[in-house]
């Protein structure tokens, strides 16, 4: 087991992801949390053109142009006695796969919901993943400074749509132009705010029953607030941390991330109640954080964090023991022993080299093509962490070289971007053409943009009409051969060299499943 100080290090870590539908204000919330952590001193107004600063966590060129996040970014800071690791994920559904994988590397989640729009499709999907993994969830209802839905209605919708009991731990005082602040039920204090987009504001603390409340928010609103709170107390049970940790209850906070309302309440309560790193299931056994030996897995690979150096970085989540710089670790898939002389920790794009990292930390390892998503590193034990699948893509296009002089750059670019898990590459065995499969249309644009801007290579897309890609395997060699012969025009290999059947319609796929009884068709790459 680790010694006491090292166990303390594990207990003070909070590793979580912020997830939401696009435009609910996830990146803005991330920034405000960083402000409180002292990691940045002025927030980049994400949308404002007057201030030529973009969000800290959106650093890829295309993200700055589009105003959306297309890749998960990792940031860490210290707050009070805690060390907080935030993973800001893309909300756009075309990048859902990146987000699903990120959820395997965190211990808890904050879901951001827009107060006017309520629960949207993407939020529902992500919540399913949290439910599957029993991840504790806190909900932050954003944009209270705009006209939105009634808070009680919203709470009902959250329960129905996300299928989890909710419990408000803060309560808004009106909304839109009349928004006066938030009553913090967790600390039982009322906080009156003045909007400030840029800096952290001081707060007033007023007792709910004193006449000071009327002086600050007026008689009508004071009455309404007291009535609302009485109703909440009657309807909702007492808050019990265990219910939150077992993922049966989701605490709800209200506020406006852009104007810094209600963010500090969220953060103060979060660091107190959120779980420290939890055990990670591996195929062989469950791995507990306090074990002496280091284990970790790669859940994401990013090419070109530094455009000048064309370098890839593999993001490794530390699961147990402690990671030490320059120590020898076993890379399970290749059987090689590796040492890392410059492991880094991130503040979005700014990174610093570290000497040790503890469970819950996310470290960046320089990657020269050694890593794939899902790889495990240990001190010698053979372990395989599971739950990092690639899903069967739904959109396909042929990728062609638009500049014959840049063939090498294009090949390298495709290779690195596919290693990142942005999309999947299939090589057709019949004509040798490369097919890119993605979950959404936007990914084609991102790939084209990044090939041009990061690898100086031009590509063009050509249509191919396919219904689904599925991985096939069989214990009956003869039948597998017969299948491949019959379908040879539709057979491809994925990046790992596995057989993939590219069905051009649902009917064809169904018939293949009926005709070839001994072949197993898989729709995720993890089987």
Give residue 387's pLDDT band: very low, low, confident or very high (50, 70, 90): low
pLDDT in tens, 317-369: 899 888 998 999 999 888 889 998 888 876 644 567 888 888 988 888 887 77
| More confident position, 141 or 194 | 141
Instruction: Pinpoint the alpha helices (H) of 342-500.
Output: 407-419, 442-455, 477-486
Question: Is 5 among the domain residues?
Answer: no
Output the six-digit token pair for 215. 């002086």
The Cα-based distances of 478 to 302, 495, 511 in angstroms read 40, 24, 19
Question: Is 386 among the domain residues?
Answer: no
Q: Are 370 and 338 in contact, with CB atoms under 8 Å apart?
A: yes
**Ranges 91-105, 380-394, 402-416, most confident:** 402-416
Average pLDDT over residues 368-388: 80
What pLDDT shows up at residue 501?
Answer: 92
What pLDDT shows up at residue 52?
Answer: 35
Q: Identify which of 99, 82, 81 has the alpha carbon closest to the alpha carbon of residue 90.
A: 99
Question: Is 222 among the domain residues?
Answer: yes
pLDDT surpasses 60 at 425: yes
Last residue of a domain, one of 330, 348, 378: 378
Residues 80 and 98 in one domain: yes
Residues 33 and 135 in one domain: yes
Pairing outcome for strands 395-401 and 459-463: antiparallel
- For the beta sheet containing 181-184, the strands, ordered from the edge strand earlier in sequence to the opposite edge, are 170-173, 181-184, 189-192, 204-206
Q: Identify which of 360, 361, 363 has the alpha carbon closest to the alpha carbon of residue 352.
A: 363
Give residue 128's pLDDT band: very low, low, confident or very high (50, 70, 90): confident
pLDDT surpasses 90 at 435: yes
3-class SS of residue 71? coil
Question: Is 6 among the domain residues?
Answer: no
Q: How many CB atoms lie within 10 A of CB 279?
A: 15
Q: Are 250 and 158 in contact, with CB atoms under 8 Å apart?
A: yes
Residues 257 and 287 in one domain: no
CA atoms within 13 A on the CB side of 167: 20
Residues 444 and 371 in one domain: no
Give residue 389's pLDDT band: very low, low, confident or very high (50, 70, 90): low
How confident is the prediction for the chain on average, in pLDDT?
Answer: 79
What pLDDT shows up at residue 70?
Answer: 40
Residues 320 and 439 in one domain: no
Question: Is 390 among the domain residues?
Answer: no
Residues 213 and 289 in one domain: no
Three-class SS string for 6-59?
HHHHHHCEEEEEEEECCCCCHHHHHHHHHHHCCCCCCCCCCCCCCCCCCCCCCC
Residues 307 and 345 in one domain: yes
User: In this structure, what DSSP letter does residue 95 have?
Assistant: G
Q: Where residue 285 sits, what CATH number does that domain have?
A: 3.40.50.300
What pLDDT shows up at residue 527?
Answer: 52
Distance CA 306, CA 41 (A): 23
Residues 294 and 328 in one domain: yes
Q: Are 425 and 461 in contact, with CB atoms under 8 Å apart?
A: no
Q: Which residues pair with 18 in a beta bridge?
A: 88, 110
Give residue 61's pLDDT band: very low, low, confident or very high (50, 70, 90): low
pLDDT in tens, 15-58: 888 887 777 777 788 878 877 776 554 444 333 333 334 454 55
Question: Is 388 among the domain residues?
Answer: no
pLDDT surpasses 90 at 198: no
- For the beta sheet containing 519-522, the strands, ordered from the edge strand earlier in sequence to the opposite edge, are 459-463, 395-401, 434-438, 424-428, 491-493, 499-503, 468-474, 519-522
Output the six-digit token pair for 190. 């009322």
Output the six-digit token pair for 382. 């053979």
Q: Are 90 and 24 in contact, with CB atoms under 8 Å apart?
A: no
Question: Is 42 among the domain residues?
Answer: yes
pLDDT surpasses 80 at 162: yes
Distance CA 291, CA 312 (A): 30
Q: Residue with structure tokens 């004509």?
A: 431
pLDDT surpasses 70 at 244: yes
Q: Into how many domains does the chain fold? A: 3
Residues 450 and 428 in one domain: yes
Residues 98 and 198 in one domain: yes
Distance CA 213, CA 459 (A): 63
Question: Is 389 among the domain residues?
Answer: no
DSSP 321-368: S-EETT--EEETTTTEEE--S--EEEETTEEEE-SEE-TT-EEEEEES
Domain with 72, as residue range(s), is 11-273
pLDDT surpasses 70 at 71: no
What pLDDT shows up at residue 433?
Answer: 92
Tell me what percent of the residues of the chain surpass a pLDDT of 90. Answer: 8
Give residue 398's pLDDT band: very low, low, confident or very high (50, 70, 90): very high
| More confident position, 412 or 92 | 412
Q: Are 326 and 339 in contact, with CB atoms under 8 Å apart?
A: yes
3-class SS of residue 233? helix
Give me the helix-helix angle, 26-36 and 263-273, nearest 10°. Answer: 70
Indicate if the alpha-carbon torsion angle 275, 276, 280, 285 is positive or negative. Answer: negative
What pLDDT shows up at residue 483?
Answer: 92
| More confident position, 188 or 270 | 270
Residues 196 and 112 in one domain: yes
Q: Are 125 and 154 in contact, with CB atoms under 8 Å apart?
A: no
Residues 118 and 48 in one domain: yes
Last residue of a domain, one of 273, 306, 326: 273
Last residue of a domain, one of 249, 273, 297: 273
């Amino acid at each position: 087991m680790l010694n006491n100080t090292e166990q303390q290090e594990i207990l003070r870590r909070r590793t979580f992801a912020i997830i939401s539908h696009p435009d609910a204000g996830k990146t803005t919330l991330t920034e405000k949390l960083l402000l409180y952590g002292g990691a940045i001193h002025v927030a980049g107004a994400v949308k404002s053109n007057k201030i030529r600063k973009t969000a800290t966590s959106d650093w890829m060129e295309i993200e700055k142009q589009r105003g959306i996040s297309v890749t998960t970014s990792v940031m860490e800071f210290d707050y009070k006695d805690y060390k907080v690791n935030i993973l800001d994920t893309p909300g756009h559904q075309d990048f859902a796969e990146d987000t699903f994988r990120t959820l395997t590397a965190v211990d808890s989640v904050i879901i951001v919901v827009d107060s006017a729009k309520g629960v949207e499709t993407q939020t529902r999907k992500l919540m399913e993943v949290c439910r599957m993994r029993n991840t504790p969830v806190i909900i932050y209802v954003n944009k209270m400074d705009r006209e939105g839905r009634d808070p009680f209605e919203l709470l009902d919708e959250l329960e129905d749509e996300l299928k989890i009991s909710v419990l408000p731990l803060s309560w808004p005082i009106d909304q839109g132009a009349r928004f006066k602040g938030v009553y913090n039920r967790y600390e039982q204090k009322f906080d009156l705010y003045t909007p400030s987009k840029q800096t952290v504001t001081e707060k007033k603390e007023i007792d709910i029953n004193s006449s000071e409340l009327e002086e600050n928010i007026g008689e009508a609103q004071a009455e309404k607030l007291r009535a609302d709170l009485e109703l909440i107390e009657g309807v909702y049970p007492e808050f019990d941390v265990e219910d939150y940790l077992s993922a049966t209850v989701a605490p709800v906070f209200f506020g406006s991330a852009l104007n810094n309302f209600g963010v500090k309440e969220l953060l103060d309560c979060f660091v107190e109640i959120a779980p420290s790193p939890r055990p990670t299931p591996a195929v062989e056994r469950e791995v507990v954080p306090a074990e002496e030996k280091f284990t970790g897995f790669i859940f994401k690979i990013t090419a070109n964090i530094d455009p000048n150096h064309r370098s890839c970085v593999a993001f490794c989540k530390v699961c147990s023991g402690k990671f030490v710089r320059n120590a020898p670790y076993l890379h399970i898939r290749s059987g090689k022993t590796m040492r890392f002389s410059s492991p880094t920790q991130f503040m979005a794009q700014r990174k610093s080299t570290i000497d040790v990292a503890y469970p819950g930390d996310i470290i960046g390892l320089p990657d020269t093509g050694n890593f794939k998503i899902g790889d495990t590193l240990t001190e010698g034990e053979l372990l395989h962490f599971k739950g990092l699948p690639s899903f069967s893509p739904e959109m396909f296009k042929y990728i062609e070289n638009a500049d014959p002089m840049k063939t090498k750059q294009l090949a390298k670019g495709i290779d690195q971007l596919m290693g990142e898990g942005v999309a999947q590459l299939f090589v057709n065995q019949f004509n040798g053409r490369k097919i890119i499969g993605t979950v959404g249309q936007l990914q084609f644009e991102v790939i084209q943009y990044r090939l041009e801007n990061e690898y100086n290579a031009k590509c063009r897309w050509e249509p191919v009409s396919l219904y689904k890609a599925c991985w096939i395997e069989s214990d009956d060699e003869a039948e597998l051969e017969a299948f491949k012969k019959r379908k040879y025009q539709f057979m491809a290999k994925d990046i790992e060299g596995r057989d993939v059947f590219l069905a051009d319609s649902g009917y064809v796929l169904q018939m293949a499943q009926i005709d070839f009884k001994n072949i197993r068709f898989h729709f995720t790459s993890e089987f």
